[in-house]
Amino acid sequence: MNPAIASRWFVFPNILFLAPVPLATAAAALLTWRALHSRSEVLPFVGGIGLFVLSGIAISLYPMIVPHHFTLWEAASSDRTQAFLLVGTLALLPVILMYTSWSYWVFRGKVRADIGYH
């Protein structure tokens, strides 16, 4: 284990704050496992997202985005590039959401649970 990562998790003040993370991960894994045997589709999905968020990778590596090479700020694009992407996202995201909504509206009721590739 990397000494920097070990010191982040196991040194005194941090261990108090980070001790709930493995416990919450174990609880999320158990709940997700149990949800897989139910008829719910939402609970396993939410559990998977919870496991991803609670994985501890971000806690272990922060602020390194490329481990032991680049920090988050060194790997980020320039301010001009980020502004360009923001403008493009603000222009195209509403179009994508409207088209997706329209597609769902047009095809509503056309697919039933008893037909298809089941």
pLDDT of 118 reads 55
Neighbouring CB atoms inside 10 A of 28's CB total 20
H or E stretch at 70: strand 70-71
Token readout for 13 is 């003040």
pLDDT of 82 reads 96
Higher pLDDT, 17 or 4: 17
pLDDT of 63 reads 85
pLDDT of 52 reads 92
pLDDT per position as a tens digit, 57-84: 888 888 888 888 899 899 999 999 999 9
